[in-house]
């Protein structure tokens, strides 16, 4: 394959459509996200999604798809768990149903699905597929996938490499919670309590406290959130992502609430539109959002932000002393009295939630009962001292505003009025070239006051109310001005909007999968449990592609002793300043031992050559 040149990239940018992809727990949140500016939404069905708590009925998906397609917004269904044998037939039937209702794609992990009889629905490779090498991305493209969702750990240079050497769509995470492990390669939750991340049941053990000891039993850390990472925020790096070949920008959060989704969607919509406009590039959906609030990423759930490994630098990315939302910095404590304290700012309000780090560097929080200028009366004042930095992790005023905010999304349209010898012609045209027409015979009496009649006609035709259309000033070019009652003009407008809505639905461009599933040789010849093969169809898939299967998915095994249950680009030694590249002094004997709250031990193996860390069950 010829490598793409910089000139090709510029050409591809002009030809591409760029997509802001946002999460939704349910139909109502999805609709709010679309109104806030989403180009696409990913959402779960009641089964088979990697967030088992975020399921939806088929009827809800039907209604959501119908709403979304009016704005050319795509709806992707998450079916990205590994499947049991008895689930394969069920998911095959489900996929045909999703195709029938015109879901725009399915996101999958289990390759056994590709051995089913599938409709021509677009298929997207979940990040759970561990799409971390060029060889895997090439394989997925040639196998028949439309898109790959890249690991959160992917750097700009790796993205560019994938872009230069393939023609598959590339999707990247830009915001939200970070998994400590490579997705699809984390078995820690399963090893602890049998809840498998690959089955959508992750118990999030990386957000728990652990202790860390060296090989001599010396304590390095005691009861800290060693595996908990900050949240991803690439809102300032969208241009870099575009120039590296990314066309879909994904916000994490199918378990997050409506305020989070609306706020992050609106913020990234503004940031992305600014870049697209500067480059003269196209977004993938239609219409524009209208809302009455200023989005702010610090005002919804966040553990502090990081760009992770985008620049291939191992920075301070963990939240060792806390695992909860820290929110936004609001000020420094000046004085402390018995039941209140003064702040060097006065932006806190009654009902806000605040947090701070105490003298032991632990994150503590409380609610605000009352404020009086810069005087703050908290529910609990213990631990608050002079000089302490205060963060607001719940902004009551902002959240209340988001709950009650009026958000709408409009499709620009215009009405034209023309005449023939026998009729008046009314047209409603949208920005995509769709047009609805209504022809009315000249049976009206001529208007006595032509100027007033024209003005009334123009005003009434230009109204669009709570419809999805935003009608500009009506373009009326007629010589014989009729007198038409306001009620009849309104009826004409309503008929036009209903017809245009129907035409837009009919003209929706559904992207069918046009490539057959190939049997190209898999780039890895021998597979162990980390291939996540959980059913006979998946076994068949890999065997047909030349693989020797040494063992099935870890979820089929009861004994996990000595198994790698996590592999991560995140490194504890680097986080603690113990990386040999940072300091030649070896303070602690290896291997390190990680101990959870149940005193279960895990060996921590550092593969410095590949710059990855592995966690292994030690008992």
Mean pLDDT of 591-598: 94
Mean pLDDT of 481-509: 96
At 83 the pLDDT is 97
Q: Say if residues 247 and 164 touch (Cβ distance below 8 Å).
A: no
Q: Are residues 363 and 439 in the same domain?
A: no
Looking at the structure of the chain, the number of domains it has is: 3
User: Of the candidates 452, 477, 506, which is a domain's last residue?
Assistant: 506
Structure tokens at 6: 């910089």
CATH label of the domain that carries residue 268: 3.20.20.60
User: Of the candidates 474, 506, 538, which is a domain's last residue?
Assistant: 506
Q: Are residues 117 and 161 in the same domain?
A: yes
User: Of the candidates 477, 506, 535, which is a domain's last residue?
Assistant: 506
At 405 the pLDDT is 87
Range of weakest confidence among 251-255, 345-349, 403-407:
403-407
Q: Are residues 361 and 391 in the same domain?
A: yes
Residue 105 Cα distances to 101, 484, 511, angstroms: 11, 48, 9
Structural domain including 62 reads: 6-178+233-286
The answer to whether position 243 is within a domain reads yes
pTM of the predicted structure, to 2 decimals: 0.94
pLDDT band, very low/low/confident/very high, at 53 (cuts 50, 70, 90): low
pLDDT at 552 over 60: yes
The answer to whether position 211 is within a domain reads no
pLDDT band, very low/low/confident/very high, at 348 (cuts 50, 70, 90): very high
The answer to whether position 111 is within a domain reads yes
Q: Are residues 331 and 281 in the same domain?
A: no
The answer to whether position 114 is within a domain reads yes
Q: Say if residues 511 and 119 touch (Cβ distance below 8 Å).
A: no
| Cis ω before 261 (30° cut-off from 0) | no
The answer to whether position 59 is within a domain reads yes
Q: Say if residues 262 and 34 touch (Cβ distance below 8 Å).
A: no
Number of H helices, E strands in the chain: 14, 31
pLDDT at 59 over 90: yes
Q: Are residues 20 and 88 in the same domain?
A: yes
Minimal CA–CA distance to 315: which of 575, 53, 579, 612?
575
Give the position of tokens 């946002």. 22
Q: Are residues 414 and 390 in the same domain?
A: no
Q: Say if residues 563 and 554 touch (Cβ distance below 8 Å).
A: yes
Q: Are residues 415 and 373 in the same domain?
A: no
Structure tokens at 54: 């975020």
583: which DSSP letter? Answer: -
Q: Are residues 400 and 414 in the same domain?
A: no
382 C-beta neighbours (distance < 10 Å), count? 9
Q: What is the pLDDT of residues 288-325, one digit of tens each?
A: 999 989 999 999 999 999 999 999 887 789 999 999 99
Q: Are residues 463 and 381 in the same domain?
A: no
User: Coil, helix or strand for 161?
Assistant: helix
pLDDT at 50 over 60: no
Mean pLDDT of 123-141: 97
* Ramachandran angles phi, psi of 209, nearest 5°: -85, 145
Q: Are residues 255 and 392 in the same domain?
A: no
Give the number of residues written for the chain. 619
pLDDT at 97 over 60: yes
CATH label of the domain that carries residue 368: 2.40.10
The answer to whether position 570 is within a domain reads no
Residue 527 Cα distances to 184, 345, 542, angstroms: 14, 58, 9
pLDDT band, very low/low/confident/very high, at 278 (cuts 50, 70, 90): very high
pLDDT band, very low/low/confident/very high, at 562 (cuts 50, 70, 90): very high
Chain-centre distance for alpha carbon 554: 28
Structure tokens at 286: 């239609």
Q: Are residues 144 and 241 in the same domain?
A: yes
Q: Are residues 386 and 493 in the same domain?
A: no
Q: What is the pLDDT of residues 220-268, one digit of tens each?
A: 999 999 999 999 999 999 999 999 999 999 999 999 999 999 999 999 9
- Helices of type H across 280-420: 396-404
At 7 the pLDDT is 53
Query: CA-CA-CA-CA torsion for 94, 185, 22, 84, nearest 10 degrees?
Result: 10
Mean pLDDT of 177-205: 94
Give the containing element (helix H, strand E) for 408: strand 408-419
The answer to whether position 305 is within a domain reads no
- Helices of type H across 303-423: 396-404
The answer to whether position 119 is within a domain reads yes
Mean pLDDT of 446-459: 95
Structure tokens at 395: 């902004």
Q: What is the pLDDT of residues 148-182, one digit of tens each?
A: 999 999 999 999 999 999 999 999 999 999 999 99
* Spatial separation of the C-alpha atoms in residues 602 and 592, rounded to whole Å: 9
pLDDT band, very low/low/confident/very high, at 49 (cuts 50, 70, 90): low
Minimal CA–CA distance to 209: which of 51, 355, 304, 319?
319
Range of weakest confidence among 311-315, 493-497, 537-541:
311-315
Q: What is the mean pLDDT of the chain?
A: 94
Give the CA count within 13 Å in the CB-facing half-sphere of 99. Answer: 16
pLDDT band, very low/low/confident/very high, at 1 (cuts 50, 70, 90): very low
């Amino acid at each position: 394959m010829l490598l793409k040149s910089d000139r090709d990239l510029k050409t591809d940018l002009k030809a591409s459509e760029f997509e802001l992809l946002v999460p939704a727990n349910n139909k109502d949140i999805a609709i709010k996200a679309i109104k806030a500016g989403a180009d696409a939404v990913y959402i779960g069905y009641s089964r088979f999604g990697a967030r088992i708590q975020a399921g939806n009925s088929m009827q809800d998906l039907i209604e959501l798809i119908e709403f979304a397609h009016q704005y050319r917004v795509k709806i992707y269904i998450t079916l990205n768990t590994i499947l049991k044998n008895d689930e394969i037939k069920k998911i095959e039937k489900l996929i045909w149903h999703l195709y029938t209702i015109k879901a725009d794609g399915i996101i999958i992990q289990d390759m056994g699905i590709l051995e089913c009889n599938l409709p021509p629905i677009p298929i997207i490779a979940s990040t759970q597929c561990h799409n971390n090498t060029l060889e895997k991305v090439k394989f997925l493209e040639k196998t028949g996938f439309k898109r790959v969702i890249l690991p959160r750990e992917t750097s700009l240079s790796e993205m560019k490499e994938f872009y230069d050497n393939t023609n598959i769509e590339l999707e990247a995470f830009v915001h939200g919670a970070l998994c400590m492990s490579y997705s699809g390669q984390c078995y820690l939750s399963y090893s602890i309590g049998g809840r498998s991340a690959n089955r959508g049941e992750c118990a999030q053990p990386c957000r728990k406290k652990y202790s860390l000891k060296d090989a001599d039993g010396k304590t390095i850390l005691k009861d800290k959130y060693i595996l908990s990472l900050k949240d991803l925020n690439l809102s300032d790096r969208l241009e870099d992502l575009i120039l590296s070949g990314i066309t879909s920008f994904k916000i994490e959060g199918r378990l997050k609430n409506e305020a989070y989704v609306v706020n992050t969607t609106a913020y990234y919509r503004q940031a992305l539109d600014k870049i697209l406009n500067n480059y003269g590039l196209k977004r993938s959906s239609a219409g524009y959002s209208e809302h009455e609030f200023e989005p702010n990423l610090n005002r919804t759930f966040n553990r502090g932000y990081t760009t992770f490994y985008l620049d291939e630098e191992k920075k301070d990315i963990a939240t060792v002393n806390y695992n909860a939302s820290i929110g936004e910095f609001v000020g420094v404590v000046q004085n402390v009295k018995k039941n209140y304290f003064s702040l060097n700012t006065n932006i806190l309000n009654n009902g806000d939630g605040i947090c701070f780090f105490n003298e032991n560097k632990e994150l503590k929080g409380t609610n605000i009962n009352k404020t009086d200028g810069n005087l703050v009366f908290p529910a609990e004042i213990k631990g608050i001292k002079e000089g302490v930095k205060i963060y607001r992790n719940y902004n009551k005023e902002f959240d209340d505003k988001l709950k009650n905010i009026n958000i709408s999304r409009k499709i620009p349209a215009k009405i034209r009025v023309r005449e023939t010898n026998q009729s008046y012609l009314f047209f409603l045209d949208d920005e995509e070239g769709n047009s609805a027409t209504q022809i009315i015979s000249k049976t009206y009496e001529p208007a006595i006051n032509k100027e007033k009649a024209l003005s009334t006609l123009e005003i009434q035709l230009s109204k669009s109310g709570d419809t999805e259309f935003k009608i500009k000033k009506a373009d009326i070019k007629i010589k014989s001005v009729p007198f038409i009652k306001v009620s009849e003009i309104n009826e004409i407008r309503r008929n036009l909007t209903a017809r245009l809505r129907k035409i837009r639905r009919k003209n929706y461009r559904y992207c069918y999968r046009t490539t057959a599933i190939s049997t190209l040789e898999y780039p890895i010849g021998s597979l162990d449990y980390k291939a996540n093969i959980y059913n006979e169809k998946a076994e068949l898939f890999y065997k047909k592609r030349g693989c020797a299967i040494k063992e099935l998915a870890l979820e089929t095994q009861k004994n996990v002793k000595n198994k790698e249950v996590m592999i991560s680009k995140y490194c504890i030694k680097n986080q603690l300043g113990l990386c040999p590249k940072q300091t030649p002094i070896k303070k602690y004997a290896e291997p390190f031992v990680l101990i959870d709250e149940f005193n279960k031990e895990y060996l921590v193996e550092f593969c410095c050559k590949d710059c990855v860390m592995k966690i292994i069950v030690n008992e």
